[in-house]
């Protein structure tokens, strides 16, 4: 059986989390690894429908995703999780779940500055927030607690997607997970 692991990519909206996750997933699949990307937007649509964006709802969403990721990872899948997860206590609870089952867990902070994320604005969220059509945007008018000790910090504005995914692959290799 292959070694499973959860790789949680946290960061602001439009930081590059999902793009990096899919780039890494492609490489891992080419090598024969079992891989699933648990995209935060898809999870909200199918697993966490009905949850809002209050602190409590965000925590519930992160715990649901953490449960799914740990279940997959425990069964030999590389679970790549590009999810904002703005609160440290929520991320810590997911890490603890993994530790309790002796399942590998890596926290990756995609540390893209808010001004760069705003320029990218993949989903138009920053434009809506600036126009007063949206409130509670993580990192702008809602908190984002920066990870204090991530396993890896990626500054996506300073490197290509391939380079970002390669640095994450190198970490997986260093930890004996690929």
Domain boundaries, the chain: 5-174
pLDDT > 90? residue 155: yes
Looking at residue 93, what is its pLDDT? Answer: 98
Q: How confident is the model at residue 44 (pLDDT cuts 50, 70, 90)?
A: confident
pLDDT > 60? residue 1: no
To the question of whether residue 85 is assigned a binding role by annotation, the answer is no
The answer, as to whether pTM is greater than 0.85, is: yes
To the question of whether residue 18 is assigned a binding role by annotation, the answer is yes
Looking at residue 13, what is its pLDDT? Answer: 96
> Residue 112: which residues within 8 A CB-CB, separation 6 or more?
11, 12, 14, 15, 16, 120, 155, 156, 157
To the question of whether residue 167 is assigned a binding role by annotation, the answer is no
Summarize the chain as % helix, strand, coil (round to 5): 45, 15, 40
Separation CA 6–CA 95 (nearest Å): 9
- Give the chain's mean pLDDT: 95
Q: What is the pLDDT of residues 72-105, one digit of tens each?
A: 999 999 999 999 999 999 999 999 999 999 999 9
User: Nearest Cα to 105, choosing from 87, 85, 91?
Assistant: 91
CATH (residue range 5-174):
3.40.50.300
pLDDT > 60? residue 137: yes
To the question of whether residue 17 is assigned a binding role by annotation, the answer is yes
To the question of whether residue 13 is assigned a binding role by annotation, the answer is yes
Task: Using CA atoms of 84, 5, 31, 33 in order, give the dihedral in degrees to the nearest 10.
Answer: -110
Mean pLDDT for 31-51 is: 91
**Residue appearing with tokens 């590389």:** 78
Mean pLDDT for 25-51 is: 93
To the question of whether residue 25 is assigned a binding role by annotation, the answer is no
pLDDT > 90? residue 48: no
State phi, psi for 48 to the nearest 5 degrees. -115, 25
To the question of whether residue 11 is assigned a binding role by annotation, the answer is yes
Mean pLDDT for 25-36 is: 97
State phi, psi for 144 to the nearest 5 degrees. -135, 115
To the question of whether residue 96 is assigned a binding role by annotation, the answer is no
């Amino acid at each position: 059986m292959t070694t499973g692991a959860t790789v949680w990519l946290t960061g602001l909206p439009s930081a590059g989390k999902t793009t990096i996750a899919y780039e890494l997933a492609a490489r891992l699949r080419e090598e024969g690894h079992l891989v699933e990307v648990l995209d935060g937007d898809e999870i909200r649509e199918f697993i966490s429908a009905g949850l809002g964006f209050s602190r409590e709802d965000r925590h519930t969403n992160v715990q649901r995703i953490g449960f799914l990721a740990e279940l997959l990872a425990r069964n030999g899948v590389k679970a790549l999780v590009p999810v904002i997860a703005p609160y440290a206590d929520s991320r810590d609870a997911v890490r603890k779940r993994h530790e309790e089952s002796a399942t590998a867990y890596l926290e990756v902070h995609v540390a893209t500055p808010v001004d760069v994320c705003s320029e990218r604005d993949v989903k138009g969220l920053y434009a809506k927030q600036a126009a007063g059509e949206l409130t509670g945007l993580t990192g702008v008018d809602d908190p984002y607690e920066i990870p204090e000790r991530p396993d890896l910090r990626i500054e996506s504005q300073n490197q290509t997607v391939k380079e970002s995914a390669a640095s994450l692959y190198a970490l997986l290799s260093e930890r004996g997970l690929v």
